[in-house]
Amino acid sequence: MRSEGGPVLRGCRTLAATLSTAIIALASPATGQSAKQEDPIPATPKQDLTAIQRQFVPPAPPPLTMFPEVRDAWKETPAFLRDSKFDINFRSYFRDEVTNAPNSVGIKQAWAGGGSVAAETGRLFDVLSLGAVLYTSFPIVAPPDYGNTGLLLPNQQGYAIFGQLYGRARLLEGHYVTVGRYLYDTPFLGPQDNRMTPNTFFGYTLTGTLGDGENGGPTFRYGGGWIGAIKPRDAIDFQSMGSKAGAPLSNAGVGVVGGRLTWGPATLGAIEYYSEDILNIFYAEGKYGVSFGDSFNAIGAAQFVAQNSTGRNLLNGGNYFATNQFGAKIDLGYQTGILTLGYSVVNPSFAIQTPWSANPFYTDALVQAFNRAGEQALMVGLSYVFTPVGLPGVAASVFYFNGWTAAPAAGGPLVENEWDFNLEWRPNWKPLQGLWLRARYGTSSVWQRNTRTNIDDVRLIVNYNVKLY
| Averaged pLDDT for residues 77-84 | 88
Segment 454-465 mean pLDDT: 97
Distances (CA, A) of 357 to 175, 190, 250, 335: 25, 5, 19, 33
Render pLDDT for 145-154 as a digit per residue (tens, 0 to 9).
999 999 999 9
258-270 pLDDT per residue, tens: 999 999 999 999 9
CA 208 from chain centre, in angstroms, equals 22
Spatial neighbors of 3 by CB under 8 A, at least 6 apart, are 107
- Contact predicate 66/469, CB 8 Å: yes
- Is residue 326 scored above 70 in pLDDT? yes
pLDDT of residue 263: 93
Residue 436 clears pLDDT 90, i.e. is over it: yes
Is 359 inside a domain boundary?
A: yes
% the chain with pLDDT above 90: 77
- What confidence tier does 215 reach under pLDDT thresholds 50, 70, 90? confident
% the chain with pLDDT above 70: 91
Residue 217: per-residue pLDDT: 86
Does any domain span residue 2?
no
445 domain-assigned: yes
In a domain, 346, yes or no: yes
> How many separate domains does the chain show?
1
Q: What pLDDT shows up at residue 127?
A: 95
Residue type, 332: L
> Which H or E element spans position 47?
none
pTM: 0.89
The pLDDT score that the predictor gives to residue 33 is 56
Mean pLDDT, to the nearest integer, of 381-396? Answer: 96
For residues 435-440, average pLDDT: 97
> Residue 31's pLDDT is what?
59
pLDDT tier, 427 (very low <50, low <70, confident <90, very high otherwise): very high
Give 64's pLDDT tier (boundaries 50, 70, 90).
Answer: low
**To the nearest whole number, what is the mean pLDDT of the chain?**
90
Question: Closest by alpha carbon to 273, among 187, 166, 206?
Answer: 187
Q: Is residue 101 part of a domain?
A: yes
pLDDT digits (tens, 9 = 90+) for 330-365: 999 999 999 999 999 999 999 999 999 989 999 999
The CATH code of the domain that includes 367 is: 2.40.160.10
- In the DSSP assignment, the letter for residue 244 is H
Q: Is residue 443 part of a domain?
A: yes
Instruction: Specify if 394 maps to a domain.
Output: yes
- Domain residues for the domain of 424 are 7-467
Q: Could you give the dihedral angle defined by the CA atoms of residues 425, 430, 434 and 436, in that order, rounded to the nearest 10 degrees?
A: -10
Is residue 13 predicted with pLDDT exceeding 50?
no
Query: Distance between alpha carbon 211 and the CA centroid of its chain, in Å?
Result: 28
Q: Residue 4: pLDDT above 80?
A: no
369 inside domain: yes
Over residues 96-102, mean pLDDT: 95
Which of 70-84, 172-186, 229-243, 437-451 comes out lowest in average pLDDT?
70-84
Q: How does pLDDT run across 16-63, given as a tens digit for each residue?
A: 333 333 322 222 335 555 556 788 999 999 999 898 888 878 777 776
- Is residue 6 scored above 70 in pLDDT? no
